[in-house]
Amino acid sequence: MSRLYDLEHDEERFILIGVAVSDNDDTKESLEELRELVDTAGGFTVGMVIQNREKVHPSTYIGKGKVEEVRQLIFETDATGVVCDDELSPTQLKNLEDALQTVVLDRTVLIMDIFAKRAVTKEGKLQVEMAQLRYRSTRLVGMGNILSRLGGGIGTRGPGEKKLEADRRHIRERVSQLKRELEDLEKNRETARSLRSRSNIPVIAIVGYTNAGKSTLINYLTNAGVLEEDKLFATLDPTTRSYTMDSGQQVLFTDTVGFIRKLPHHLVNAFRSTLEEAKYADIIAHVVDSVNPDAYKQMHIVYDTLASLGIKDKTIITVFNKQDLLESEQILKDFKADHTIKISAKTGMGVDNLLELIEKVLMEQKILIENVFSYNEAGKIQIIRKYGQLLEEEFRQDGIFVKAYISKDIYRSL
C-alpha cells in the first residue's frame, strides 16, 4: 500500500530512473536535468538508477531485476516515490506502481506540474490544465497511488482530484470548454499581432533553453520585472516589452517559454500559440548558457523545437550569455546562426554591442529611399516619420524631399 503523507510536513523524496538505449546515450545528463526539475517542483532526489537496455521494457519501463533493485533502494533511502526520465504508457505506469508499491511519476507529469505551479495568466493556466487532462485521461486506471495522496504533492497540481476521477466523457467536455476559451484568447493574441504588424514595430523574440538567462536579459533591457530564479522554468507566461533604440527606433522584445529535453508534446501543442510568437518576429535572439557543459546539446534542442513549430528563414542572433561566470576563455560557435555575440545579461557586459547588432540587422532589412513627395502627399511623410528612420527632409518648390530608411512593407504601401 502506498504511503499517504502531507506535503506541508513531509518532504517528497524521489529516486530517479533512466534507461540508456545506446552507447552514446545522454541518459546521465538527462537525469541530472531531471534532478533539477524535481528540485524546481519542490522535491528532493535521494538516488539515481540507470539501466542499459536495447529498448525500454514494454511493461515496466525497466527490467525485473532492476525493479527489485529500485524497490530495495526505496526502502534504504525512505523514498516517497520514483520519477522515470521518459513518458510512461498507462500499462508501464500501473505495473511499476504495483511492483514498487509507491508513487510513480514520469518526466511529462513532472514538467506539467511545474508549469501548473508557474502559470500566472489565465491563458497559461488554461493551457496547462488542457495538457494535463489530455495526458491523464488515458492514464486514469494507472494513477491510483497519485490520486490517493490525501496531502497532494508533486504531480497533483492543476486540475485537481475530482476532475481526474471523473469519467472520460466529463474530461472530454472540460477539454472542449478549455479549447473554446483558448480559441477566444488566441483571437485576442492574433489581433494584437495584427496591430503590431500594422504598426510596423520590429519584434525581437527571445528564445533559448530554460534557465539560459532570457528573463534576465529582458529585465536588463526593459525593466520588465520578470521573475529571475536559478531554477528551470522560473517563468512560464510570455512577456512583451517596448524598447527605444539610440537611433529612436522602437522595437518590441518578447520573452518565450524555455525549451528543454523531451519537452512533452502535450505541452508543445498546448503552448503552440505562445511559442509561435517567434514565428512572427523579425529577429530571433537565441540565448545560450555559455557555462553549461551541455551548451551544444541545448542549442540543438532549441533548433529542433523551432523546426517543429515551422519557424524558419528568420535572422538568428545567438547570444552567448553568462560570460561573467566563465573561469577561462571558452570558444562556443553556432554555425546555424546569422550572427553571434557574447554578453552577460546580469552585469550588462556586451549588451550595448547586442543592441548595436540588432540595429544593424534591422537596418539591413530596410531600404533607403530618396524621393520628392508633392505637398498633397504630406500624409505619406507622416507615415515615414512614424515608422521609418528619417535622415533628411527638405521643403522644395516642387514638393518635399525625403531621405529615409523604411521597411519594405511600408515602401510598398506608399
209 and 335 fall within a common domain: yes
User: For residue 234, what pLDDT is reported?
Assistant: 53
User: For residue 194, what pLDDT is reported?
Assistant: 64
pLDDT at 147 over 50: no
> Grid coordinates in use for 375?
505637398
Distances (CA, A) of 215 to 132, 228, 381: 26, 6, 37
- Within-domain flag for 173: no
CATH of the domain at 275: 3.40.50.300
20 and 91 fall within a common domain: yes
Residues across the chain? 414
Mapped onto helix, strand or coil, the DSSP state of residue 234 is: coil
**pLDDT tens digits, one per residue of 350-368:** 999 999 999 999 888 888 9
Task: Tell me the CA end-to-end span of the chain in Å, nearest whole number.
Answer: 74
- Within-domain flag for 319: yes
- For 143-166, what is the mean pLDDT? 53
**pLDDT tens digits, one per residue of 330-350:** 788 999 999 999 999 999 999
- For 192-205, what is the mean pLDDT? 71
- Within-domain flag for 206: yes
Q: Look at residues 195, 207, 185, 301 and name the one whose alpha carbon lies nearest to residue 253.
A: 207
**pLDDT tens digits, one per residue of 13-41:** 999 999 998 766 788 889 999 999 999 88
**pLDDT tens digits, one per residue of 99-123:** 999 999 999 889 888 888 877 778 7
Highest mean pLDDT among 20-24, 225-229, 295-299: 295-299
Work out the pLDDT band at 174, boundaries 50, 70, 90.
confident
- Within-domain flag for 72: yes
- The C-alpha cell 538527462 sits at 30
- Within-domain flag for 196: no
Structural domain harbouring 246: 201-363
- For 179-201, what is the mean pLDDT? 72
CATH of the domain at 124: 3.40.50.11060
266 and 373 fall within a common domain: no
Q: What's the CA gap between 412 and 357, in Å, rounded?
A: 26
Beta bridge partners of 203: 252
326 and 405 fall within a common domain: no
Mean pLDDT of the chain: 82
62 and 139 fall within a common domain: yes
User: For residue 6, what pLDDT is reported?
Assistant: 39
User: For residue 311, what pLDDT is reported?
Assistant: 85
125 and 261 fall within a common domain: no
221 and 348 fall within a common domain: yes
Domain boundary among 115, 148, 165: 165
Residue type, 101: Q
| Beta strand ranges found along 181-260 (DSSP E) | 203-208, 239-244, 250-255
pLDDT at 9 over 50: no
379 and 292 fall within a common domain: no
User: For residue 5, what pLDDT is reported?
Assistant: 36
80 and 106 fall within a common domain: yes
User: For residue 323, what pLDDT is reported?
Assistant: 93
pLDDT at 393 over 70: yes
User: For residue 47, what pLDDT is reported?
Assistant: 95
- Within-domain flag for 188: no
Beta bridge partners of 207: 286
391 and 351 fall within a common domain: no
- For 259-286, what is the mean pLDDT? 78
Number of domains in the chain: 3
- Within-domain flag for 1: no
101 and 160 fall within a common domain: yes
- Within-domain flag for 247: yes
Q: What's the CA gap between 50 and 28, in Å, rounded?
A: 8
Query: 88 vs 7, which has greater pLDDT?
Result: 88
Q: What's the CA gap between 391 and 385, in Å, rounded?
A: 10
Q: Look at residues 161, 163, 159 and name the one whose alpha carbon lies nearest to residue 148.
A: 161
358 and 379 fall within a common domain: no
User: For residue 20, what pLDDT is reported?
Assistant: 92
> Grid coordinates in use for 332?
562556443
User: For residue 1, what pLDDT is reported?
Assistant: 33
Side by side, the strands of the sheet bearing 203-208 are 239-244, 250-255, 203-208, 283-289, 315-321, 339-342
